[in-house]
Chains A and B, each alone.
Chain A
Amino acid sequence: MQLAINALLAASLYALVAMGLTIILGVLDIADFAQGALYMLGAFTAFYATTLLGLNFFLALPLGFVVGGAIGVANYLAVYRPLRRASGATTFIAALGLLLILQNLALWIFGADFKLVPSPFGKARFSLLGASMGSYQVFLIAAVAVVVLATWAFLQRTRLGKALRAVSQNRNGALMIGVDALRVEVTAFAVAGGLAGLGGALASAVNAFDPSVAALVVIKAFAIVIFGGMGSVPGALLGAVIVGVMETATAGLVNTQYAELTAFVLMVIVLLVRPRGLLGSPETKL
């Protein structure tokens, strides 16, 4: 049970970024590594909102979503939209450039010290079926589950969400029946960036972070996306859970350093056996 909770916690930390990456991959076929920077900025937002502004932590969470979403949209309008006729590789390189710029700007402004937001529940613990865990950890898992469900509902039920899926399935067809591409793409970046920012804000009270977390998180999240199947939201979530489980198991059985490699090893194996990823198929779209 303890192991399962830890695994879920690890999975939750990556799930939101992985889902955001998947949405952008699905709608625009961009490998947006700058999402990692949004995660990092979300974490810094939570840190400064609670320390400098004295905001309640739970108010800082939506703020993380807003900051992530806003910068995500800004990235899109400033860099990706002008490059929309360029190849996927070009946009990927631009994304890495953005990641490099944002990460080093953060390093410049915020410094390289590790920061950790104090847990809003203090040291309160919670026991369930013989396992003991921090109350905040439980809250985090629950919050991620709710956000995942909300995003799922948004994609499946709302008009805008359906437009997103339509564009990802058949871009020209969607444009022909009058879907506004700009609106859909801005939404995709707002949602994905928001998820990354929120993920960072949520994680800021669990893991100490510094600007370099941007690259680390997005790399692992991307390995999960490739593992789960590029462009498939259920694949990204399943990938996050499997990686979470394997990572926790490796940390328990071998050591924590090799646990860091789990996601990458799984990615390489899946590429050798099934290059599309677990749930990926040519038709799989959002």
Chain B
Amino acid sequence: MIRSPATDPAGARARTARWRNTLLIAGGAVLAMVLPYVFTGLAARSLLILTAINVILVVSLDLLIGLTGLLSLGHAAFWGVGAYASALTAMRLGFPFPLALLAAIAAGALAGAIVGAPALRLRGHHFSVVTFIIGIIVTILMTNLVGLTRGPMGLPGIPFASLHLFGWSHTFMTIVYKVGFYHLTLFFVALALLLRWRIAASRLGRALKAIKADEDLARAIGIQTFRVKLTVFCVSAAVAGAAGSLYAHYTAFISPDSFTFVESFDLFVMNLVGGAGTALGPIIGPAFLTSVGTALRSVSPVLAEIIYGALLIVSITLLPTGIVGGTTALARRWRRRR
């Protein structure tokens, strides 16, 4: 049936909604890009970069949690694998930044396959437990493979990211001037969001949603659940690997301490508090918690962890759909009442 635009109110409404969304996305992108000119302090700009990296990580985590319903609790491991892969290829093999980034993505995907193969055999919270434990194994490996990673001493002196394009070249001197690197990170945030959007709209995305709704049923209608889950797990790990590469070339120093299970936990909380599976949740969660977390840690690191733990329990008990989910429900209720 051909819908005539003039007489079809549903189509017209969909079109306005699409316009509104495009405007909102463009506005959000512009806002994100000008933020470092509003907050010009070095600490504030550093916070912006770390927030952007966290957004990439949480978006990749949301592929598992929000889309597929796989509550993975070892995500920082892939971030760390990516960071180490990028740093080591850049330092030992002299890879330029774009190649090191690709190495980090490949290493992330490979680690995803290695972890996913055993972990995805389990379901529900058993899967969460295993990813959590494997995340810890990865930190133990980073600490103990001293020959490769220098162990707990970490890797200092990672070269800054630099790009060479058709004769134009730019080095992101992240210590002094952070805006360039922030925009670079923002570019990858956009890529990650685009990837999530495209996956959600694809055949793979529909398979993932089916698995989230009912895995046995998904299998019964012919979805190869294990293969589909492994695919999304590898994609998610690869994106986390890219975030690791950005992180390594930003801080110029990485050590196993940066990628412990506490980080996995923080990412999980960010996704949960923001609202897993919602469009804006993976942006709002990290934006809110990275700044709050940094502020708290500067007061007392121990207190910060206690509050994180409490926040986690409160948010899953009272607000299972996160800030975004909660506000949407509130707004809907308010509109209905009117």
A contact residues vs B (CB 8 Å cutoff): 31, 79, 82-83, 86-94, 96-101, 103-105, 107-108, 215, 219, 222-223, 226, 230, 257-258, 260-261, 264, 267-268, 271-272, 275
Check: B188 CB closer than 8 A to any chain A CB: no
- Are B265's CB and A100's CB within 8 A? yes
Minimum Cβ distance to chain A for residue B174 (Å): 31
- Among B98-141, those with CB < 8 Å from A are 117-119, 121-122, 124-126, 128-130, 132-134, 136-137, 140-141
Complex Cα distance A219/B129, Å? 9
Given contacts A93-B312, A97-B313, contact A31 B130 (CB under 8 A): no
**Inter-chain contacts of A271 with B (CB < 8 A):** 118-119, 121-122, 130
Number of residues of chain B lying within 8 A (CB) of chain A: 38
> Which one of A88, A94, A219, A272 contacts B316 once the chains associate, using CB atoms below 8 Å?
A94
Among A82, A87, A93, A101, which residue has the most Cβ atoms of chain B within 10 A? A93
**Inter-chain contacts of B118 with A (CB < 8 A):** 268, 271-272
Q: A100-B312, A275-B122 are in contact. List 16 more A-B contacts (CB 8 A).
A: A89-B71, A92-B125, A93-B73, A97-B313, A101-B310, A104-B306, A108-B303, A215-B261, A219-B133, A219-B136, A226-B129, A226-B133, A261-B141, A271-B118, A271-B121, A271-B130
- Are B121's CB and A223's CB within 8 A? no
Check: B257 CB closer than 8 A to any chain A CB: no
Complex Cα distance A88/B134, Å? 19
**Inter-chain contacts of B126 with A (CB < 8 A):** 31, 88, 226, 230
- Residues of A contacting B: mostly: helix
Complex Cα distance A96/B118, Å? 22
Nearest B residue to A86 via CB reads: B316
Complex Cα distance A181/B338, Å? 44
Check: B144 CB closer than 8 A to any chain A CB: yes
**Inter-chain contacts of B265 with A (CB < 8 A):** 96, 100
Given contacts A83-B317, A89-B124, A260-B140, contact A105 B130 (CB under 8 A): no
Nearest A residue to B122 via CB reads: A275
- Residues of B contacting A: mostly: helix
- Are A92's CB and B312's CB within 8 A? no
- Are A261's CB and B140's CB within 8 A? yes
Minimum Cβ distance to chain A for residue B180 (Å): 36
Check: B308 CB closer than 8 A to any chain A CB: yes
Check: B305 CB closer than 8 A to any chain A CB: yes
**Inter-chain contacts of A89 with B (CB < 8 A):** 71, 124-125, 128
- Are A96's CB and B312's CB within 8 A? yes
Given contacts A223-B133, A272-B118, contact A97 B309 (CB under 8 A): yes
Check: B165 CB closer than 8 A to any chain A CB: no
**Inter-chain contacts of B144 with A (CB < 8 A):** 257-258, 261
**Inter-chain contacts of A97 with B (CB < 8 A):** 308-310, 312-313
Check: B268 CB closer than 8 A to any chain A CB: yes
B contact residues vs A (CB 8 Å cutoff): 71, 73, 117-119, 121-122, 124-126, 128-130, 132-134, 136-137, 140-141, 144, 261-262, 265, 268, 272, 302-303, 305-306, 308-310, 312-313, 316-317, 320
Q: List 16 A-B contacts (CB under 8 A).
A: A86-B317, A88-B124, A89-B71, A92-B71, A94-B312, A94-B317, A96-B265, A96-B312, A100-B262, A101-B306, A230-B126, A260-B140, A261-B137, A268-B134, A271-B122, A272-B121
Complex Cα distance A86/B316, Å? 9
Minimum Cβ distance to chain A for residue B102 (Å): 28
**Inter-chain contacts of A103 with B (CB < 8 A):** 305
**Inter-chain contacts of A83 with B (CB < 8 A):** 316-317
Complex Cα distance A90/B314, Å? 11
Complex Cα distance A88/B132, Å? 15
**Inter-chain contacts of B303 with A (CB < 8 A):** 104, 108
**Inter-chain contacts of A92 with B (CB < 8 A):** 71, 125, 128-129
Given contacts A101-B306, A104-B302, A260-B140, contact A93 B122 (CB under 8 A): no
> Which one of A79, A260, A272 contacts B313 once the chains associate, using CB atoms below 8 Å?
A79
**Inter-chain contacts of B310 with A (CB < 8 A):** 97, 101
Complex Cα distance A215/B305, Å? 14
- Are B129's CB and A222's CB within 8 A? yes
Complex Cα distance A77/B303, Å? 24
- Are B137's CB and A90's CB within 8 A? no
10 cross-chain pairs, A with B, having the tightest CB-CB distances, nearest first: A100-B309, A88-B125, A101-B309, A97-B312, A271-B118, A92-B125, A97-B309, A104-B305, A275-B121, A97-B313
Complex Cα distance A31/B125, Å? 7
**Inter-chain contacts of B312 with A (CB < 8 A):** 93-94, 96-97, 100
Nearest A residue to B314 via CB reads: A97
Complex Cα distance A104/B126, Å? 25
